[in-house]
Structure 1
């Protein structure tokens, strides 16, 4: 009788363990819809899969423990932190009116070595990714030329048969690291701009392209540079490489 009871207790423990495992798996596999629409959240935290509806860009990201997303309209911010950051401590979008519309950048008040980036969605018609763009005459309007020129600094890459390569807009060849991003769903690249006095990056940008959708990611803090380590740069590339377009 005692042996039977022990066996039943052991079976109950095993079933409880399986239940916990499946429960954690379910949490890890949870899908959160991020956006400003009906039944969409403006905040998501890992572990979870997040579907983001940002303007005409529809894409998904896999968040690990400690990773967070915040939807602000029109931008989305990714942040990894061991504790919940107060809203005032999150990176934020800064916009300035120009003759051709608005120029934008991201800023962060503290934690300049943090793992984060802001995301903006744009249309491919406002970019020139052809190698010949740097030397060709354009039939675009002055306003569109200015927009494309501004975007050429945000996405300093050209696509050739050999893949993505940096353009002169990236700056001096020894001042940055340029790496291609490829998966079955999209193509693009990431650029890390080196700080002069330390082996860190003061700014990191990436551009992901599929069809007419361009997703721009940026970690920056002008005029004060960030202090992003080589390890964090690699981890940011891994996060960006995991983005999947859904449209």
Structure 2
């Protein structure tokens, strides 16, 4: 049997001031990559630096989770930003996070868009190109993470950025392989054991069921557990334990960390 490696990532540093969201410390003992908020959709400098410090201590790869400038909406609302502005916003976020990461003993290893931006650049040509331009301006060899089949990954590949594909442990899929919008019933999954079973299938390249029951194959280098979902730590632990029990090795897709 061919050995299988998979990355397990989570969205972290999404608190802000007195508002706490998720258990970053606990998740950082489970995941191999951390998508760290950069202050535009969530996160303040203290929260962000704390997550970077814990990631460095646990040898977890740090990624810049860039988003729209939308604290009130948690970055989950589409914003029709002109491409040049969007590129500057993304570049600003990566640079800010990298400064805090380096002060914490690590650095930004990859870039993953967040929320509405993530979903928009599945199809939005101009915004996808803008995010690619920002990443290239920062580091033309920086790995990027996104949805398989998205314009974002296609344009990143054209720009010769290292491209990695992501699947979601706790989100439902449409038959076409896109995420079911959060406002729809059944969009977010909560049963830890069912999620863990699905992650084994994803890691092995086996089909999972789309929301209508259609078999769907999602090729992935990394699996995401949302840090803001209730019970996220329980879900992440169940996923990790089940993957390891099946002989699947958890390892950061960037090749760094634990």
> Is the TM value for this pair above 0.5?
no
TM-score by length of 1: 0.32
Higher helix fraction (1 or 2):
2
Which of the pair has more CA radius of gyration?
A: 1
TM-score by length of 2: 0.31
